[in-house]
Amino acid sequence: MMKKKRAGVQILLLLACQWGVRAQRFELKSVTAQRFEITNQLDRTPDEEAEALLAPYRVAVDSMMAPVLGVSDMYMKSGRPESLLSNWVADVLREASVRYGRKADMGLCNMGGLRSALPKGKVTKGDILAIAPFENMFCVLSLRGADLQILMEQIASVGGEGVSGVRLEISPDDKLLRAAVGGKPINPEKIYTIATLDYLAEGNDKMEALKKAVSRQSTTRPVRDILMDYIVEQEKLGRKLTARMEGRITVKKP
């Protein structure tokens, strides 16, 4: 156990040894820090012992990450209010909902969950694991229109998230001005379906309106598997991955 005393700079350690547990007090004289940039320059002079230690693990990791799933026609990255990558992921989630009943009215993903970019050209399993590294599960939920309107306001408040099947117009100070689903205004009494991930369905990333879902169909399929399945299907059909900027979320100029 380590106990730090803020008033002074003292550290109390409880040390286990062959005679039992004993306490020893140390006084910290100084602390220095230095920035050390991690670049590919380090690969030019690798540590031989470290390389030997990592070698068997590298083989296993490479065999898992290297398989090519398909081909992307463009480079895609995430960004607010709208981006190629967030559009693509939201579209894939919405398409995947067909397997669980019908195509959802809306696909939804969070920008914070997209941790890397999709490369142009060959797309490997490792690329998708880098984009979606978390254990987020795919789910489909139903939300009353009045609560969907609140969800749209919450999406606007952060400057936009990944959406499919909907359009939002927001102000420069992140207020919702207009929202539509399937080209139509939101009906407060209608029930809408949303294909998303369990992390958001639990109200995280300020999407608390999703906690008011009237029903929720959870799955045991990680979002990254949904993405990989889609890429493999497109590859079998001879199609490259693509996305478009469509004005799904626009910021009205003052």
Distance CA 87, CA 165 (A): 10
Residue 236 in this model has a pLDDT that exceeds 80: yes
Under the banding of pLDDT at 50, 70 and 90, the label for residue 177 is: very high
What does the mean pLDDT of the chain come to? 89
Confidence (pLDDT) at 51: 78
Determine contact, residues 207/163, Cβ cutoff 8 Å.
Answer: no
Lowest mean pLDDT among 28-42, 45-59, 134-148, 190-204: 28-42
Instruction: Give the residue among 216, 215, 72 at the shortest CA–CA distance from 138.
Output: 216
pTM of the model: 0.79
Give me the pLDDT at residue 150, please.
98
What integer is the mean pLDDT of 216-237? 97
> What is residue 209's predicted lDDT score, i.e. its pLDDT?
98
Q: What is the DSSP letter of 18?
A: T
Specify the pLDDT at position 9.
Answer: 62
Query: For position 16, what pLDDT does the model report?
Result: 57
**Banded model confidence at residue 19, pLDDT cuts 50, 70, 90:** low
- Residue 50's pLDDT is 79
- pLDDT for the residue 7: 47
Residue 152 has pLDDT above 80, yes or no: yes
Flag whether pLDDT at 54 surpasses 90.
no
Q: What pLDDT score was predicted for residue 4?
A: 42
pLDDT value for 15: 58
pLDDT in the model for residue 183: 96
Residue 209 CB burial class (10 angstroms; 0-12, 13-18, ≥19): buried
Burial class (CB in 10 A: 0-12, 13-18, 19+), 51: exposed
Sign of CA dihedral 120, 199, 90, 180: negative
Q: For the segment 78-107, what is each residue's pLDDT rounded down to a tens digit? A: 999 999 999 999 999 999 999 999 999 999
Predicted confidence at residue 22, as pLDDT, reads: 63
Q: Which residue has the higher pLDDT, 250 or 63?
A: 250
Residue 3: predicted pLDDT = 42
Question: Are 172 and 80 contacting, i.e. CB atoms less than 8 angstroms apart?
Answer: no
Which band of pLDDT confidence, cut at 50, 70 and 90, is reported for residue 118?
very high
Lowest mean pLDDT among 22-31, 187-196, 239-248: 22-31
